[in-house]
Amino acid sequence: MIIQESDVDFQNSKIDWMFSQDVDISNLGINNLVIRQKGNHFAKKHFKLEIINEEGLIYILMKEYQDKYGPFLIKNSLENVSLFFKQDIPEKAQIDFPFDRLDSKNQAIFSWDYPLADKVFMVFFVSDTHEKMKSALRLNTLNNINETYQFILMPKNPNEEPLVIIVLIRLFKDMKIVEFIDAKTRNVKYDIEVINENELEVDQKKKEMQLSIKFIVKMKSIGISFIQNTKPPFTELIFICFKGFELIALDKNRIRTYQLRLKNFVINNNSSDLVRFPVVINSMVKNVEVSDKFLLNMICKRHLDSTQAIKIYFLIYC
């Protein structure tokens, strides 16, 4: 498994962030999650998690959504009505996150707090002119594009008409827009206002993570012998064996990354049968064939427009 370095920086402030909830890395494709601030669950970051399987290697690419872009955009187009919404948490959840508030004529990004739980969207409406809801409404999915749902709020004044709220789900690029509108003031089919596309455009293609794998070389074992051949009989002086050898090269956002990984290596001194300790070096990694530990993990990064390395990492397992 390879976790591609992201541009997310949690060290640039004194904010203490929580861990996210569990994500299934066997679920290939695009996943979304939220990371919230400790002590202030309304402060949060939304992330796109892309999981790719290339010849048995799992690549996990993590990137924070920027500006006003995200997996879902909740848009409140109602007059004098506030929305309170969140994901319906599973029974075994350790934390019950609060409802997010969205006042009239505002919009907000939404992601699932519990990616492995059922994707049930809870919402209730608060208005000074209408009756208080007894319980939150539940939408069992937000994935039905161009689907509409209808809810009714009864007025406090019996002489006034009920408020008919229509929920419309539509797709803008790869973001789902969930809009709450008044059926009386909008023509649902033909007069749905698209959110400010100029703000969302910002050349979205440049923001998408692009992963291009150049080559992958994997070898179970490589053996090298150093032989003394000045005169017969020929003698093997040193034998070096490398196990679990991998060399990977990939490009992302004009950055080329080379990764060299090695699970185990052994050096034997075979110069004489009388050598007291023939094994000179042997790593401590056990069961190399099934182990997911690497003795050596070296990463080198460089910009494609430059010949100089910009980052080099050495990770040694002891």
Of 173, 205, 237, the residue that ends a domain is 205
Amino acid 20: pLDDT: 73
Of 179, 205, 231, the residue that ends a domain is 205
The full DSSP string for the chain is -EEE--S--SSSSSPPBPPPPP--TTS-EEEEEEEEETTEEEEEEEEEEEEEEETTEEEEEEEE--TT--SEEEEE--SS-EEEEEEPPPTT-S--PPPEEE-TTEEEEE--S-TTS---EEEEEE-TTBPPPSS-EEES-S--TT-EEEEEE-BSSTTSPPEEEEEEEEEETTEEEEEEEETTT--TTT-PPPP-HHHHHTTHHHHS--EEEEEEEEEEEEEEEEEE-SSSSPEEEEEEEEEEEEEEEEEETTEEEEEEEEEEEEEEE-S-TT-S--EEEE----STTT----SEEEEEEEETT-SSEEEEEEEE--
- CA distances to 169, 176, 197, 200, 252 from 204, rounded to whole Å, are 21, 15, 11, 7, 16
How many domains is the chain built from? 3
Pair (27, 88) in one structural domain: no
Amino acid 74: pLDDT: 92
Amino acid 242: pLDDT: 85
Pair (77, 199) in one structural domain: yes
Would you tell me how many other CB atoms lie within 10 Å of the CB of residue 68? 15
Amino acid 284: pLDDT: 61
Of 46, 66, 86, the residue that ends a domain is 66
Pair (77, 195) in one structural domain: yes
Average pLDDT per consecutive 10 residues, the chain (318 residues; last block may be shorter): 45 66 77 81 82 77 78 90 88 79 91 84 87 79 76 85 87 86 64 42 47 75 83 80 85 79 84 77 66 77 68 57
Residue 240 sits in which domain range? 211-316
pTM value is 0.55
Pair (285, 299) in one structural domain: yes
